């Protein structure tokens, strides 16, 4: 049969579940409490795999092998466009309608370098099949209108003077992706090692190549790649297999005969010698010293067997997985760079595994020195052996990770594991299994203690198939790219006649009309939805006991199923801390879990924590408790360990809090530089979050404080800290802050464990509270206030797309109008904003959020090519619903979608933290039930009243724009009467 894979070559018999399928295999999977059942639809050749177990969160995924032949992004654009109407559901955007009114726990579409995946999950069976109907029709029978190709992919715009420009959602998305160092380093590392395979192209699309894709090639790609013979369908959960098989046959597969499977991605031929590649990224910073990265990448064996995945994942963790890892230590302590480069680690999603190691915050001239540090370290490990504790720590981490049950998305994680082998001709179980291949690895280590040293020798030291990628800053790159695009568009314009320009205007006008058209009632009626009758009336509660701790703290305790793991979440109240020390709190929270203690260096601490815990981390957040006037900042510590090792592990972790060793100034400097680089590199990927927080900080004391911890104010603080020379004053401040924070009266803890393990877990937290100081450090209380500034704050950054947010006063969870604003925000982000800012404007994303505790209503856009039009769209969206209420159906769908978020499964780790946060915020179950009841009773007139109320507060709104400085300046004339503060961000 055409396209037959290895798994298809297994012995198959007619399925007893459904006559249209051959039953290929049943494989017991006890580690997942289920069985893997593989079927092949005989007529179409489609393979269907069901990991059947007792999990009520069911998942399906339509998977297609989509091998790119260039970097036009055809697979990515198709991923967007198939969800823009299909034969059975001929609406503008079925995906948007699903977002409005489904109780999904996961709903998305994902483009990988070699596949495109359409997964969805839900705890409601009827909802899951509704989602599958729409997704299945979208992928197999899409309309693929040319207008949608132009909207989602790329199109030419023409202004009143006849000047041309490019737009398109994917085009703008990828312009944003190629504006950051880390994204470019990650993409180019993979491309550099696979020059002869499809991995040498960018399946997401390069901005310079995307406009070359024609509509005809786009349609042909779907015809070739989106056939059942080229598809895999992954199923997970407790829905009976025969119900799935019957549904898939009758709804989709019965319409197809066998076709040709798409070409394979191919295996990269090994090199005889290593290579060096160079790439550039845009920057607005004229200081380019120590702004580059150097990364060495190795090509390893195929990822189609679990044994290979596990042993190389273990090797990567041994070398680089933490502060106790030898290659991590060698690179960081070399002084050749500031921290690890973005691609550093292991990539297992591709057909062949890639391992990478390098530094960022360096200079291109240090390339050979960095290579020498890497290889000299590897040679030492090969010749002298790896510390057995490092190896054992890695293996225990892997066992812990496998044992720990996540919350939402477990089926999605297993799907990705199965596809590593299944996509390339193996059986799904070939890469799903963990316990048996892991046992084989341990047995191999027993027989051959030098096993990992032999891997280092063969696959790293003596492997000539490696590339060294140097990514350098180019302050002129944005201007050069703008000139290139301008020249390209000028050439296109020169070749166009006046009639061509007029025709282009008409095509764009037709697209705009279509974008603003309302779907007919007949088309909308085709979409299957749940009803309010399907919405659970009762909220889900988390039960706990309250235990008082020595010194005035308390602990919430939970006896639940945890798989033998103990979870601790500790919140330390930061009120009363010296105000000038507060910006240090985020760094302290991270650093204190990654330093030494008296008599033990930081790397030894890290190794022992790996042996005895499953995770130890810190962070800072700000809460605005209901009923309270002032916000409350907290420093959080999270710790988890097996019950069998929790006593030893928690003793060391708590020592880090009680007596950290800050005397190693080099370690403190390294950690600080890493933290500073992290927040700098996070601004553009999380631009909307930074913009929203900056705008909100001008309205809310809580958000002003949050901005000092994780926003632009924190970035400014990190940039201002001087780290050259002695850091004694900095270390002294750090220790002063630690002493003020870690006192017994400031602790609010949450503890979860199995019932037999809970007494031990409680004793350990009591003993910790008893061991720290009982006296609060005297300090002057601080009243937190919002920031001041202009109505719009602007921040210049590199890149051709921006991030825009607008925030205004709204309602809080305990206000009568909160539920109505929550419904309004859902309607806006799945309706007006999506259509005006994404579909028409070409931005990648647009959002509206009603925050329960801060009492703010926020708008934001992501990777947005426009500024003033988006700010107007935010206000227009409120006018839209203030002028006319939404339909009763729209409100009902919004309520269903909102309640669906509350139905997502919680992992033990999540429930432990969620319960603590609710306690700190004064969010009672009674109040949550009131909110649920209010949601269900919400009417269209309630939503209209909410829009009017918010519109009346529009004059109080604050906005923030993060974009290229020149674009912000150009938008000033379109913002009459609004003062704009504008400054450059140092990234």
Task: Say how far apart CA 499 and CA 493 lie, in whole Å.
Answer: 12
CA–CA separation, 133 and 200 (whole Å): 35
- The per-residue pLDDT for range 537-590, each reduced to its tens digit, is 999 999 999 999 998 999 999 999 999 999 999 999 999 999 999 999 999 999
What is the per-residue pLDDT across 760-788, written as a single tens digit (0 to 9) for each?
Answer: 999 999 999 999 987 655 444 456 677 77
- Mean pLDDT over 923-937 rounds to 96
Predicted pLDDT of residue 779: 42
Q: Please give the DSSP secondary-structure letter assigned to residue 426.
A: S
Question: Can you give the three-state secondary structure of 194-237, one letter per residue?
Answer: CCCCHHHCCCCCCCCCHHHCCHHHHHHHHHHHCCHHHEEEEEEE
Is-contact 850 824, C-beta < 8 A? yes
Per-residue confidence (pLDDT) for residue 7, from 0 to 100: 42
> Which pLDDT score is estimated for 260?
79
> In angstroms, rounded to a whole number, what is the distance separating the alpha carbons of residues 742 and 721?
24
- CA contacts within 13 A on the Cβ side of 700: 30
Average pLDDT over residues 337-356: 97
Mean pLDDT of 603-627: 96
**What's the whole-number mean pLDDT along residues 929-935?**
96
Q: Report, as an integer, the average pLDDT of 345-368.
A: 97
Distance between CA atoms of residues 875 and 955, nearest Å: 10
pLDDT at 510 over 70: yes
Matching residue, tokens 């032949």 = 69
Tokens representing 931? 């909110």
The arithmetic mean of pLDDT across residues 345-357, rounded, is 97
Q: List residues bridging with 874 in a β-sheet.
A: none
Q: Which residues of 349-362 are buried (b: 16+ CB within 10 A; e: fewer)?
A: bbbbbbbbbbbbbb
Name the band, by pLDDT with cuts 50, 70 and 90, for residue 407: confident
User: Virtual CA dihedral for 359, 360, 364, 367, nearest 10 degrees?
Assistant: 0
Chain centre to alpha carbon of residue 66: 22
What are the tens digits of pLDDT across the range 134-177? 999 999 999 999 999 999 999 999 999 999 999 999 999 999 99
**pLDDT exceeds cutoff 90 at 449:** yes
Does pLDDT of 457 surpass 70? Answer: yes
Is residue 530 within 8 A of residue 610, CB to CB? The reply is no
List C-alpha distances in Å: 792 to 685, 964, 972. Answer: 21, 15, 10
pLDDT category of residue 972 using cuts at 50, 70 and 90: confident
Residue 634 has pLDDT above 90, yes or no: yes
| Torsion of the alpha carbons at 373, 374, 379 and 381, rounded to the nearest 10 | 110
Q: What confidence score (pLDDT) does residue 472 get?
A: 96
The DSSP symbol for 518 reads P
Cα torsion through 968, 802, 866, 838, rounded to 10: -160
Q: Three-state SS for 836?
A: helix
Q: Which domains does the chain have, with CATH numbers?
A: 14-255 (3.30.830.10), 275-406+420-474 (3.30.830.10), 545-771 (3.30.830.10), 792-984 (3.30.830.10)
**Closest Cα to residue 178, out of 466, 465, 484, 416?**
484
Mean pLDDT computed over 865-887: 97
pLDDT bracket for residue 726 (50, 70, 90): confident
The predicted structure's pLDDT at residue 981: 72
* Three-state SS annotation for 94-149: HHHHHHHHCCEEEECCEECCCEEEEEEEECCHHHHHHHHHHHHHHHHCECCCHHHH
Query: Rg of the chain's alpha carbons, rounded to an integer?
Result: 28
pLDDT at 978: 61
Give the tokens for residue 139.
């992928």
CA gap 505, 489 in Å, rounded: 16
% residues pLDDT > 70 (the chain): 97
Nearest residue to 764 (alpha-carbon basis) of 618, 649, 596: 649
The pLDDT tens digits for 226-256 are: 999 999 999 999 999 999 999 999 999 999 9
Name the packing angle between helices 940-952 and 868-883 (round to 10°): 130
Task: Determine which helix (DSSP H) or strand (DSSP E) holds 795, and give its type and residue range.
Answer: strand 792-796
Confidence grade of residue 259 (pLDDT, cut at 50, 70, 90): confident
Q: Which two tokens stand for residue 974?
A: 């379109």
Asked whether the beta carbons of 712 and 986 are under 8 A apart, the reply is no
Q: How far is CA 887 from CA 310, 516, 875, 893, 894, in A?
A: 53, 17, 20, 10, 11
Tally of CB atoms within 10 A around 92: 21
Which pLDDT does position 979 carry in this prediction?
Answer: 64
Instruction: Give φ, ψ of 543 to 5 degrees.
Output: -85, 145
Q: Is the pLDDT of residue 15 over 90?
A: no
| pLDDT-above-90 percentage for the chain | 87
Residues 119, 110 contacting (CB under 8 angstroms): yes
For residue 528, pLDDT over 70 is answered with: yes
Q: What is the DSSP letter of 772?
A: S
């Amino acid at each position: 049969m055409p396209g037959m894979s290895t798994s298809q070559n297994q012995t198959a018999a007619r399925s007893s579940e459904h006559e249209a399928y051959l039953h290929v295999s049943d494989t017991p999977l006890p580690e997942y409490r289920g069985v893997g059942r593989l079927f092949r639809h005989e007529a179409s050749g489609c393979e269907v795999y069901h990991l059947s177990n007792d999990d009520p969160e069911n998942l399906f995924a339509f998977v297609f092998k989509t091998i790119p032949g260039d970097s036009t992004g055809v697979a990515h654009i198709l991923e967007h466009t198939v969800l823009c109407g299909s034969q059975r559901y001929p609406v503008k955007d079925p995906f948007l309608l699903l977002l409005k009114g489904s109780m999904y726990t996961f709903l998305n579409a994902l483009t990988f370098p070699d596949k495109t995946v359409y997964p969805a999950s839900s705890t409601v069976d009827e909802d899951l099949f509704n989602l599958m109907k729409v997704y299945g029709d979208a992928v197999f029978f899409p309309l693929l209108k040319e207008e949608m190709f132009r909207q989602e992919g790329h199109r030419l715009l023409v202004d009143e003077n006849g000047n041309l420009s490019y737009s398109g959602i994917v085009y703008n998305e990828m312009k944003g992706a190629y504006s950051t160092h880390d994204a470019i380093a990650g993409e180019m590392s993979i491309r550099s090692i696979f020059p002869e395979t499809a991995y040498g192209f960018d399946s997401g699309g390069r901005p310079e190549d995307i406009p070359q894709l024609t509509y005809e090639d786009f349609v042909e790609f779907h015809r070739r790649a989106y056939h059942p013979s080229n598809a895999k369908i992954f199923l997970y959960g407790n829905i009976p297999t025969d119900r799935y098989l019957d549904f898939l046959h009758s709804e989709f597969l019965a319409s197809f005969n066998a076709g040709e499977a798409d070409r394979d991605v191919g295996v990269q031929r090994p090199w005889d010698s290593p290579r060096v590649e160079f790439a550039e990224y845009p920057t607005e910073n004229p200081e380019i010293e120590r702004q580059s990265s150097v990364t060495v990448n190795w090509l390893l064996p195929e990822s189609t067997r679990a044994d290979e995945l596990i042993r190389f994942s273990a090797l990567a963790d041994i070398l680089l997985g933490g502060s106790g890892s030898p290659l991590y230590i060698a690179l960081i302590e070399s002084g050749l760079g500031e921290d690890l480069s973005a691609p550093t680690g292991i990539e297992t999603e591709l057909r062949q595994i890639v391992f990478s190691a390098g530094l960022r915050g360096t200079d291109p001239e240090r390339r050979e020195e960095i290579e020498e540090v890497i290889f000299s370290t590897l040679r030492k490990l090969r010749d002298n052996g790896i510390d057995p504790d490092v190896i054992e720590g890695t293996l225990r981490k892997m066992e812990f990770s496998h044992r720990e049950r996540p919350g939402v998305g477990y089926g999605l994680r297993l799907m990705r594991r199965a596809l590593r082998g299944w996509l390339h001709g193996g059986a799904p179980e070939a890469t799903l299994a963990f316990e048996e291949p892991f046992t084989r690895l341990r047995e191999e280590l027993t027989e051959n203690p030098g096993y990992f040293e032999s891997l280092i020798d063969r696959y790293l030291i003596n492997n000539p198939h490696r590339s060294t990628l140097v990514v350098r800053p180019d302050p002129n790159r944005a201007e050069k790219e703008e000139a290139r695009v301008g020249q390209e568009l000028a050439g296109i314009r020169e070749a166009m006649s006046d009639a061509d320009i007029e025709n282009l205007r008409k095509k764009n006008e037709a697209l705009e009309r279509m974008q603003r058209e309302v779907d007919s009632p007949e088309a909308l009626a085709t979409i299957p939805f749940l009803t309010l009758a399907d919405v659970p009336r009762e909220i889900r509660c988390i039960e706990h006991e309250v235990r008082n701790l020595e010194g005035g703290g308390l602990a919430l305790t939970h006896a639940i199923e945890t798989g033998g793991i103990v979870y601790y979440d500790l919140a330390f109240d930061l009120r009363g801390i010296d105000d000038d020390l507060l910006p240090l709190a985020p760094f302290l929270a991270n650093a204190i879990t990654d330093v030494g203690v008296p008599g033990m260096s930081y790397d030894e601490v890290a190794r022992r924590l790996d042996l005895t815990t499953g995770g130890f981390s810190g962070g800072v957040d700000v809460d605005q408790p209901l009923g309270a006037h002032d916000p409350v900042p907290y420093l959080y510590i999270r710790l988890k360990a097996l019950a069998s090792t929790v006593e030893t592990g928690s003793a060391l972790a708590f020592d880090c809090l009680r007596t950290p060793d800050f005397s190693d100034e080099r370690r403190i400097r390294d950690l600080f530089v890493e933290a500073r680089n992290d927040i700098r590199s996070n601004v553009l990927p999380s631009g909307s979050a930074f913009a929203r927080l900056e705008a909100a900080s001008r309205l809310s004391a809580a958000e002003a404080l949050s901005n000092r911890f994780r926003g632009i104010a924190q970035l400014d603080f990190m940039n201002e800290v001087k780290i050259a020379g002695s850091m004694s004053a900095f270390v002294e401040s750090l220790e002063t802050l630690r002493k003020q924070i870690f006192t017994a009266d400031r602790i609010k803890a949450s503890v979860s464990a199995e019932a037999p393990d809970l007494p031990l877990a409680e004793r350990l937290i009591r003993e910790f509270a008893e061991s720290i100081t009982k006296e609060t450090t005297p300090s002057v209380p601080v009243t937190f206030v919002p920031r001041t500034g202009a109505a719009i704050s602007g921040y210049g950054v590199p890149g051709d797309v921006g991030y825009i947010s607008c925030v205004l006063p709204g309602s809080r969870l305990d206000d009568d109008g909160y539920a109505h604003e929550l419904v309004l925000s859902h309607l806006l982000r799945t309706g007006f904003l999506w259509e005006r800012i994404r579909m028409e404007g070409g931005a990648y994303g647009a959002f509206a959020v009603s925050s329960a505790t801060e009492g703010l209503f926020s708008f934001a856009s992501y990777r947005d090519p426009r500024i003033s039009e988006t700010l107007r769209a935010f206000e227009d969206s409120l006018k839209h619903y203030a002028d006319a209420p939404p339909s009763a159906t729209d409100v009902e769908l919004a309520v269903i979608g909102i309640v669906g978020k509350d139905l997502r499964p919680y992992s033990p780790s999540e429930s432990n933290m969620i319960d603590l946060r609710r306690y700190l915020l004064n969010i009672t179950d009674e109040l949550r039930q009131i909110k649920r009841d209010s949601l269900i009773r919400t009417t269209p007139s309630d939503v209209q009243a909410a829009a009017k109320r918010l519109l009346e507060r529009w004059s109080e709104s604050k906005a923030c724009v993060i974009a290229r400085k020149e674009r912000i300046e150009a938008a000033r004339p379109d913002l009459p009467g609004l003062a704009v503060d504008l400054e450059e961000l140092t990234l």
